[in-house]
Amino acid sequence: MVSEVVARRYAEAYFRLAREAGKIDVWNADLARAVEMLEQPAVAEAMRNPRVPMKDRIALVLSLTDGLEQETRNLVRLLVQRGRSSILGAVLERYRALADAASGLTRVEVTAAVPLDQALEQDIRNTLSQRLGGSIHTTVRQDPSIIGGLIIRIGDRVIDGSLRTRLQQLRAALA
C-alpha cells in the first residue's frame, strides 16, 4: 500500500513534467524501456543485493538508460538512490493511467469464455465507446472458467456478466 502511494507521487510528478515539456508519449516509451531494463534478472538482482555499492548501482542504471530522456534517467537514478527501484513498474502503470486520462482514452479489458469473432469485438468496442463517451482501447482475454458471457473491466470497475457468477448467485439464493 505504501509503495503504491509512493509510486503514484513519482508518476504524478513525472507526468506533470512530461506534460509541460509536451513529451507525454516520448517519456511513456522511455519509462517503459527503463522498466524493461531494470526487470532483467541480473539487473534486478544487482539492485536488490546490499553488497553492490550504491555508486555501482547508479553507474549501472545510468549506463543502461543512456539514450533516454534526461528526466527519465533522473527519475530512475533517484529511485535507485532511495532504494525504491522496485516500484518503477508501478510508476509506469500509474503514469500510463494519467496519460490515458489526459488524452481521453479509456482502457477496457474484456474477458470471454470463448474466442470472440471480429464483428462481435467491434460491436463491443462501439457500444463501450458510446457509453463511455470517448475513445477506448480494448484488450480481449479468454478464460474458459467463466463458462459463458463477458467480464468487462474499466479501470477499477468490473461488470461481471459471466455465467459462472450467475450460477454462483443462483446457488447462494437456493441455499
Are residues 138 and 92 located together in one domain of the fold? no
Show which of 40, 75, 101 is a domain's final residue.
101
pLDDT of residue 154: 92
Full-model pTM? 0.75
Determine contact, residues 60/42, Cβ cutoff 8 Å: no
Dist. CA 123–CA 174, nearest whole Å: 35
Res. 103: pLDDT tops 80: yes
Show which of 46, 67, 101 is a domain's final residue.
101
Are residues 130 and 69 located together in one domain of the fold? no
Output the CA torsion 19→24→26→30 (10° steps): 100
DSSP letter (8 states) at residue 51: T
Show which of 101, 116, 137 is a domain's final residue.
101
Dist. CA 46–CA 57, nearest whole Å: 7
Percent of the chain topping pLDDT 90: 92
What average pLDDT does the segment 67-89 reach?
A: 95
Mean pLDDT for all residues in the chain: 94
pLDDT of residue 77: 96
What's the pLDDT tens digit per position in 9-44?
Answer: 999 999 999 999 999 999 999 999 999 999 999 999
Q: What nine digits make up the cell of 89?
A: 513498474
Are residues 91 and 127 located together in one domain of the fold? no
Element (H, E) at 169: helix 163-174
What's the pLDDT tens digit per position in 153-163?
Answer: 998 899 999 99
Nearest to 61 by CA among 48, 73, 71, 53: 73
Are residues 123 and 67 located together in one domain of the fold? no
Domain that holds residue 154: 105-174
pLDDT of residue 122: 95
Dist. CA 61–CA 76, nearest whole Å: 7
Are residues 71 and 139 located together in one domain of the fold? no
Are residues 97 and 131 located together in one domain of the fold? no
What average pLDDT does the segment 58-79 reach?
A: 96
Residue type, 34: A
Are residues 17 and 48 located together in one domain of the fold? yes
What's the pLDDT tens digit per position in 111-143?
Answer: 999 999 999 999 999 999 999 888 999 999 999
Are residues 133 and 167 located together in one domain of the fold? yes
Nearest to 143 by CA among 114, 109, 107: 114
Percent of the chain topping pLDDT 70: 99
Largest CA distance in the chain: 64
Task: Say how many domains are in the chain.
Answer: 2
